[in-house]
């Protein structure tokens, strides 16, 4: 396996390995790492993990390096990454939903604080082969017959918590413990649920907006020590994926005639904060 990343990450991993600090174990894993995308040349399976704003550029550079049978797996937040990658390059791409709370406190170190399972779909020979590979590696992976619903359900949780965590600079547990924050969460999930319903999406395990709110609160409690990826990006001065989260709901809601004022407000605030950075 070869990992591709920025120099600070690659230098540490090549020298000391990748340190995994998980809920179940602590282990240093020795892997190859490179700063060059050309290291992916000839790979059969590519785990596509870049931030959504980098989809087009990365896919365009990656395509000439791969064989016709190479399989790209999108392990990203948002619901339209596969479409963006396919539009940018002639690649075979499968969507995956990642249920994990983790951070990178320093280059070469991964801190895992919650869950750690994947969903693939729809069922096919390729998704079954991928699921078997992840399972052999100790990563729980199931195949869903409603992968669009899975992606939108993950989007709902991200829209409910990510921006609040980022703007408040707080972990999920602090959101769960604030009655005012929970009111904002409730408004966010009601809007996302309404947009998903109008788009004909059948969410997974979420029958109505009340269930959506209960689910968001449950996640915030279970992953109380997690800081959202949006918050981590902002604290490092990086671009966030807010366009693919609350921003996506704002745009999709406008297309479908569904008001999304709270999602739009948080999207706008994050964009303004990025501009200041």
Last residue within a domain, chosen from 89, 116, 145: 145
- Let me know whether 36 and 109 are in one domain: yes
Last residue within a domain, chosen from 117, 145, 173: 145
- Let me know whether 181 and 123 are in one domain: no
pLDDT recorded at residue 101: 83
pLDDT recorded at residue 276: 64
- Let me know whether 20 and 141 are in one domain: yes
- Let me know whether 114 and 176 are in one domain: no
Dihedral sign (CA 180, 149, 255, 194)? negative
pTM here? 0.91
Contact yes or no for 223/231 (Cβ under 8 A) = no
- Let me know whether 74 and 162 are in one domain: no
Segments forming the whole domain that contains residue 159: 148-276
- Let me know whether 92 and 77 are in one domain: yes
- Let me know whether 221 and 183 are in one domain: yes
Count each helix (H run) and each strand (E run) in the chain, helices first: 11, 9
The Cα 268–Cα 277 span in angstroms is: 14
Contact yes or no for 155/79 (Cβ under 8 A) = yes
Q: Give the number of domains in the chain.
A: 2
Q: Residue 16: which CATH number?
A: 3.40.50.720
Structure-block tokens of residue 16: 């000391």
Structure-block tokens of residue 24: 């179940």
Last residue within a domain, chosen from 94, 124, 145: 145
The Cα 108–Cα 157 span in angstroms is: 27
- Let me know whether 124 and 172 are in one domain: no
pLDDT recorded at residue 210: 96
pLDDT recorded at residue 49: 95
Q: Residue 209: which CATH number?
A: 1.10.1040.10
- Let me know whether 178 and 92 are in one domain: no
The Cα 3–Cα 34 span in angstroms is: 6
The Cα 17–Cα 29 span in angstroms is: 5
Residue with tokens 């924050």: 181
The Cα 270–Cα 12 span in angstroms is: 31
- Let me know whether 172 and 112 are in one domain: no
The Cα 48–Cα 188 span in angstroms is: 28
pLDDT, mean of each 10-residue run, the chain (277 residues) = 94 96 93 96 95 94 93 95 93 92 90 90 94 94 96 97 97 97 98 98 95 95 91 92 97 98 98 81
- Let me know whether 155 and 252 are in one domain: yes
Contact yes or no for 109/29 (Cβ under 8 A) = no
- Let me know whether 82 and 171 are in one domain: no
Structure-block tokens of residue 94: 């499968």
């Amino acid at each position: 396996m070869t990992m591709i990343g920025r120099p600070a990450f690659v230098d540490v991993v090549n020298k000391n390995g990748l340190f995994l600090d998980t809920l179940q174990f602590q282990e240093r894993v020795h892997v190859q790492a490179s700063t060059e995308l050309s290291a992916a040349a000839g790979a059969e399976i590519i785990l596509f993990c870049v931030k959504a704003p980098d989809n087009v550029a990365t896919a365009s550079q990656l395509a000439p390096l791969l064989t016709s049978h190479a399989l790209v797996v999108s392990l990203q937040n948002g619901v339209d990454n596969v479409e963006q990658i396919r539009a940018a390059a002639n690649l075979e791409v499968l969507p995956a939903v990642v249920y994990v709370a983790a951070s990178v406190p320093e280059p070469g170190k991964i801190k895992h604080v919650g869950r750690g399972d994947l969903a693939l779909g729809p069922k096919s020979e390729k998704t079954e082969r991928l699921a078997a590979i992840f399972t052999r590696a100790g990563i729980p992976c199931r195949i869903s017959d409603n992968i669009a619903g899975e992606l939108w359900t993950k989007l709902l949780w991200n829209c409910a918590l990510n921006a609040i965590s980022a703007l408040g600079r707080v972990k999920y547990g602090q959101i769960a413990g604030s009655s005012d924050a929970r009111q904002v969460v409730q408004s966010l999930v009601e809007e996302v649920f309404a947009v998903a319903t109008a788009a004909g999406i059948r969410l997974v395990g979420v029958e109505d907006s009340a269930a959506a709110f209960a689910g968001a609160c449950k996640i915030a409690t279970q992953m109380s020590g997690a800081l959202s990826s949006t918050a981590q990006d902002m604290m490092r001065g990086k671009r966030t994926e807010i366009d693919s989260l609350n921003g996506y709901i704002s745009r999709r809601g406008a297309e479908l005639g569904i008001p999304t004022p709270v999602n739009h407000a948080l999207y706008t605030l994050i964009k303004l904060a990025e501009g200041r950075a």
